[in-house]
Amino acid sequence: MSTNTAKSATYHNFIDGSWVPSVSGALFENRNPADTEDLIGVFQRSTAEDVARAVGAARSAYERWRLVPAPKRAELLFRAAQLLADRKESLARDMTREMGKVLDETRGDVQEAIDMTFFMAGEGRRQYGQTVPSELRDKFAMSIRQPVGVAAVITPWNFPMAIPSWKIIPALVCGNTVVFKPATLTPLSALNFVRILEEAGIPPGVVNLVTGGGADVVNALLVSDAVRVVSFTGSTDVGRTVSGQASPSFKKVHLEMGGKNVILIMDDANLELAVEGCLWGGFGTSGQRCTAASRVVVHEKVYKPFLEQFVARAKALRVGDGLDSQTQMGPSVSQGQLETVMKYVEIGRAEGARLECGGHALTSGALARGYFHEPTIFGDVAPSMRIAQEEIFGPVVSVIQCKSFDEAVEIGNGVQYGLSASIYTQDLNRAFAAMRDMYTGIFYVNAPTIGAEVHLPFGGTKATGNGHREAGTAALDVFSEWKSIYVDFSGRLQRAQIDTTDL
Ligand code: UN1
């Protein structure tokens, strides 16, 4: 694909209901990772000054938005969900063009945003609290959810619309206002999402978008006293910084970080199904999912036939431009990401793992204009190797042999992360034991580690998260705070915590 009409399009930040250039006037380019000659557009490179304006707008809009009844806020969100559904195809195409994953997957990404928006809009009528008996006579006791204030939403490039929707929509339904800082690699999908919210009638200042600027913009959001809650998805290293920078002002912080997810394949597994699962889990989104199955632990009795089939299928995957309907795996998102993949292939070789297939960047013909890499499988991987421990975020899968179910679970848990895990077995007892013993936030039986649904909690343990979950009604806990309320209608002073009997 060559350059096209969108070439010269310049896109703006969205602050206080207006599309505006950054204060500094600095810009950055957004290019197609499948064809770097394809310039998608030019976006604002924001600075701390733009953040200050966006936070100011969000802070003053908050005083109005928090008082809009939640079912009314939800009406606007239902409208946004319908607009997303109406434009699904063009949103997916824009997303494939700027991020690289194949069209079926970007359609799935937009669908997740649609599902999340409908689901969360429903929560506008269901923000339940508790009503409980008081200890005292003629007194009611209850708890209600209240919004937190200005929410900073910091999102990654691998799910350019789904993940922003997981954060922004619950933030809004709870009555918060938002400053949205999307990944610099996927500003168009972020902008498309915000445009739809604008069109749905979200009032000025309630959602603000600042693109580009990386660490400076993130830092400005985190040090601002006016920002009261931060929701971040990205790497564990950046998450650690986010957590540190947010703590002096005691913000509520939700972190969703790395993964080194595992599929356990037992000797009684349906191998054909397991191979399918490993292909989709390992190479879907070119391995660039925090839920990607980058480790496969296989019982020694089925190790050989599994590996043979897995390698044959991986070799046959068609790699190319995600806009081509024949393509099964797109490029890495950037030069930097491709280099990381290549670096880990070298590390794997040097550690003595067996390269079963792949291992090279793809540079022939049109592929030379993008960041393509072969689907890569290492066999005979030892659990302690770096390729079996560190998040690669690329099409590289480590296959590890084990002797028993117990050993499989031990290897599975033997990483710093705890997002997702799965087991392939026909044995109900083993499935339940693994379900209990794998220390992860998500677990699958006879399915790969990916494919979480929007109405269940999403997140992980250990270095993957900080104890919160997004999606499902769990997201309401990130974006609201409890207030306990006591109403005394006795007309006299009643003293709690005084030792009297009142029978
Ligand atoms: C991510 O991997 O970054 O579970 C999010 C899934 C998706 C979301 C993944 N629904 O695969």
pLDDT per residue over 431-477, tens digit each? 999 999 999 999 999 999 999 999 999 999 999 999 999 999 999 99
pLDDT at residue number 6? 46
Could you read off the pLDDT of 129-165 as tens digits, one per residue? 999 999 999 999 999 999 999 999 999 999 999 999 9
Q: Measured in angstroms, how far is the CA atom of residue 161 from the centroid of ligand 1? A: 12
Q: What is the Cα–Cα distance from 159 to 61, expressed in whole angstroms?
A: 28
pLDDT at residue number 500? 73
User: In this structure, what token pair is assigned to residue 145?
Assistant: 């959810």
Strand 417-418, strand 461-462: pairing: antiparallel
Q: Is the CB of 408 under 6 A from ligand 1?
A: no
Q: Measured in angstroms, how far is the CA atom of residue 456 from the centroid of ligand 1? A: 12
Could you read off the pLDDT of 479-496 as tens digits, one per residue? 999 999 999 999 999 988
Catalytic one of 256, 356, 374, 470: 256
Overall average pLDDT of the 405-417 stretch:
98
pLDDT at 244 over 80: yes
pLDDT at residue number 5? 43
Helices (H), 209-270: 214-223, 236-246
Q: What is the Cα–Cα distance from 455 to 478, expressed in whole angstroms?
A: 15
With a pLDDT cut of 70, the percent of the chain lying above it is: 98
pLDDT at 172 over 80: yes
Is 256 designated active site? Answer: yes
pLDDT at 352 over 90: yes
Q: What is the Cα–Cα distance from 166 to 160, expressed in whole angstroms?
A: 11
Q: Which residues pair with 483 in a beta bridge?
A: 144
Overall average pLDDT of the 3-19 stretch:
80
Is 402 designated active site? Answer: no
Q: Is the CB of 183 under 6 A from ligand 1?
A: no
Overall average pLDDT of the 21-43 stretch:
97
How would you label 419-442 residue by residue, b for 16+ Cβ within 10 Å and e otherwise? bbbbbbbeeeebbebbeeebebbb
Q: Measured in angstroms, how far is the CA atom of residue 40 from the centroid of ligand 1? A: 25
Ligand 1 closest atom vs CA 259: 2
pLDDT at residue number 1? 39
How would you label 63-94 residue by residue, b for 16+ Cβ within 10 Å and e otherwise? eebbebebeebbebbbbbbbbbbebbeebbbb
pLDDT at 345 over 90: yes
pLDDT at residue number 502? 75
Q: Is the CB of 288 under 6 A from ligand 1?
A: no
Q: Measured in angstroms, how far is the CA atom of residue 454 from the centroid of ligand 1? A: 10
Give 8's pLDDT tier (boundaries 50, 70, 90). low
Ligand 1, atom 8: closest residue by C-alpha: 452
Collect all residues with Cβ–Cβ distance below 8 Å to 26 and sequence separation of at least 6: 44, 45, 47, 212
Smallest Cα–Cα separation from 185: which of 363, 2, 9, 332? 332
Overall average pLDDT of the 319-337 stretch:
98
Q: Is the CB of 158 under 6 A from ligand 1?
A: yes
The overall average pLDDT reported for the chain is 96
| In the block, residue with structure tokens 């936030």 | 441
